[in-house]
Chains A and B, each alone.
Chain A
Amino acid sequence: MSNVLSAGTRAPGFTLRVTPDQDLSLSDLAGRPVILAFYPADWSPVCGDQMALYNEVLPEFHKHDAEILGISVDGAWCHQAFAKDRRLHFPLLADFEPKGEVARTYGAYRAGEGVCERALFVIDRNGIVFWSYCSPIAVNPGADGILDALERLPHEGKTGEQTKSPSHAA
């Protein structure tokens, strides 16, 4: 299992395909907590359950003003079909070319298999990793760790001068 970036580290920036013709950058979400959920593959049974769970928990994430981004090495068209099939209401990013580059910067890439780890990151409003967790590859880590971390996040304005961005990428 890789050593995923730990709490206190600055979250590496990235720009990835979110749909076949749109990009999304971590910086687009500056000022808001961001949940990154790296996962091995669209369509695999465990991932499907994990993404289905986050889909249902989404309103709780939004209560904390947090956005969740799923990331795997699958391409944007694959993500699009998967999201449509599972009726997912949050973005899936394609760490597709160069393959796994973003996952590598988070210590969340399994070079042997060529897929992302099943790794979770909660990034605070200032872009610092607040909590991270790497799950055994076959185990759906659930959402309790994410929600616990979001609850422990300092409230807006306490930690820095950054103010909430009025707009965010949909």
Chain B
Amino acid sequence: MREKPVSKLKVPVTPHDHTRGPANAPVTLVEYGDYECGYCGAAYPIVNLVCEHFGPRLRLVFRHFPLSQVHPNAEAAAESAEFAGAHDRFWEMHDGIYENQDRLGLPLLFALAEALGLSETGLRGALGSGTYAAKVRSDFLGGVRSGVNGTPSFFINGERHEGTYAFEDLAAAIELHLHAKAPL
């Protein structure tokens, strides 16, 4: 039997990514998530707590990994977040979606866009023509090549986080990288 090596992040963080926190933070946490995935919804407040806990020592990156055949709203949600991102409102849309995950659907996405002062017509058009589909697919495929097998999946400074997304697990893993001062 062949051993499968520990998964590494194959796609480095670039300016095309959505990031929260300082670019020079010693630790970068990359999350691959699906907006309709219940586990991602459960991880959402925990990731926020982790970010709060580490403050400027941590940078968060979110990449899309929609399983659209089992989660029919996941792709539209991801493309809506990208649409908002094109107007510098990615994280507001991201937060809005996860905070209202129980009623995810087109009406929610349009309402969130409107609340952010974005054009509902613009979002409708972008979803209709798949303007952001390629970006979402590129995130997804990058995740697949990095061994992402489900969501949420986390990478800490490029290494797959094998533990759970419980606060203690994530925080302990991040601490290890802080102390290791691993070069980025």
Contact = CB atoms under 8 A, between A and B. Distances in A.
Interface of A: 1, 3-4, 49-50, 52-53, 55-57, 60, 86-89, 132-135, 140-145, 147
Contact of B4 (A53, A135, A143): A135
Nearest to A146: B144
Interface residues of B, number: 18
Interface string B60-83: 000000111110000000000000
B146 interface: yes
Q: What 6 pairs between A and B have smallest CB-CB spacing?
A: A142-B149, A140-B149, A87-B69, A49-B150, A144-B147, A142-B147
A18 B70 CA distance: 22
Contacts of B66: 56
B69 A88 contact: yes
Contacts of A89: 69
B140 interface: yes
Given A87-B70, A144-B146, A56 B4 contact: no
B145 interface: yes
B70 A52 contact: yes
A144 B144 CA distance: 6
A86 to B, nearest CB: 6
Contacts of B184: none
B40 to A, nearest CB: 13
Nearest to A7: B2
Nearest to A132: B2
Nearest to B151: A49
Contacts of A134: 1
B1 A50 contact: no
Contacts of B147: 142, 144
B1 A133 contact: yes
B101 interface: no
A147 B145 CA distance: 8
B150 A144 contact: no
Interface in B103-150: 140-141, 144-150
Given A144-B7, A147-B145, A3 B150 contact: no
B6 to A, nearest CB: 12
A141 B68 CA distance: 20
A102 B150 CA distance: 28
A4 B1 contact: yes
30 contacts: A1-B1, A4-B1, A52-B67, A52-B70, A53-B67, A53-B144, A53-B149, A53-B150, A55-B67, A55-B69, A56-B66, A56-B67, A86-B69, A87-B70, A133-B1, A134-B1, A140-B149, A140-B150, A141-B4, A142-B7, A142-B144, A142-B147, A142-B148, A142-B149, A143-B144, A144-B144, A144-B145, A144-B146, A145-B4, A147-B145
